Amino acid sequence: MTQVLLPIDRPDAWPARLISLLDSLHELLLDSQIAPTKVNPPDHDRAILAVGDALRPYSITGWHCTRLTDIEIAQIVGSGMQLPDDTMLRRRINALVKSGRLPGDIGDRLARTNQADESNRAGRLWFCFFPPHRAGEHGIGRFFRHSGGEALYNSHEDDPVTSQILCAIGTPCVIEADVPVTSLAPGTGVATKLVRTYLISRGYGTHEPVKHVDRSVQPIVADCIRQVIRYPETDFMELTGCATWRRPPLDGQ
């Protein structure tokens, strides 16, 4: 990993060059939040783009909530995270069939009926760049309950046959990774959230969200994988807050 890690929620630990840039833009950035009619939109856009450019050398720690088999965990630790699509999902399904974890006819059903190639999933690795427990059970609980992620559970969680099988495969996991800012999809989201965090640190109160969810459109190499945290490890319980959930990550517990 060549990027420098930026603790996005700790302005006191940000590099001096970044703080200097934000300080120089402070009045414009604050007016954009509290008096947007006073701000010339192109000036605001240039300021946010300047912040975005300043973030390019950095990585930010993110968490990806999922459910994985032991083999899939080993692949991620050894080779990193690959971009999901229909081809990748079929490989995962075929591996489960070959290992005997999944009946062949069920594998065929899963391969036929899924959402792996939908535009908001294919080629995107989604991360929350805040401790996942802040999203609550409603925000992250479903990611842990079925193998295959949203691409499968959106099509099968109400199916009495396939849902039960997917719930029995794998272990709820949180992948902790240092995600290069340059790998994120084009946009100003991370810069905007960082600006709000900066303004809050300078005494500005805001009801606008600072929690950032984003997607990498590049694979995450193994050097960027910090750890894969499994249920019910202590770190998993603390990161997810699942001990207080109405429904635990593993059904039957």
pLDDT in tens, 12-64: 999 999 999 999 999 999 999 889 999 999 999 999 999 999 999 999 999 99
For the chain, what are the domain ranges?
Answer: 4-59+181-218, 62-178+223-244
Is pLDDT of 253 > 90? no
Is pLDDT of 252 > 60? no
Average pLDDT over residues 226-251: 96
Torsion of CA 182, 187, 192, 197, to 10 degrees: -30
Q: Output phi, psi for 18, to 5 deg.
A: -70, -45
Average pLDDT over residues 122-138: 97
Is pLDDT of 100 > 70? yes
Residue 2 banded pLDDT, cuts 50, 70, 90: low
Q: Is the pTM of this model over 0.85?
A: yes
Q: What is the pLDDT of residue 1?
A: 47
Question: Which whole-number Å values give the CA distances from 250 to 41, 99, 102, 141, 247, in the listed order?
Answer: 49, 22, 18, 10, 8
Concatenating the DSSP letter of every residue in 38-61 gives GS-HHHHHHHHHHHHHHTTTEEEE
- E strand or H helix that includes residue 180: strand 171-180
What is the per-residue pLDDT across 173-218, written as a single tens digit (0 to 9) for each? 999 999 999 999 999 999 999 999 999 999 998 777 789 999 999 9
Terminal C-alpha separation, the chain: 39
Tokens for 114? 């899924």
Average pLDDT, the chain: 95
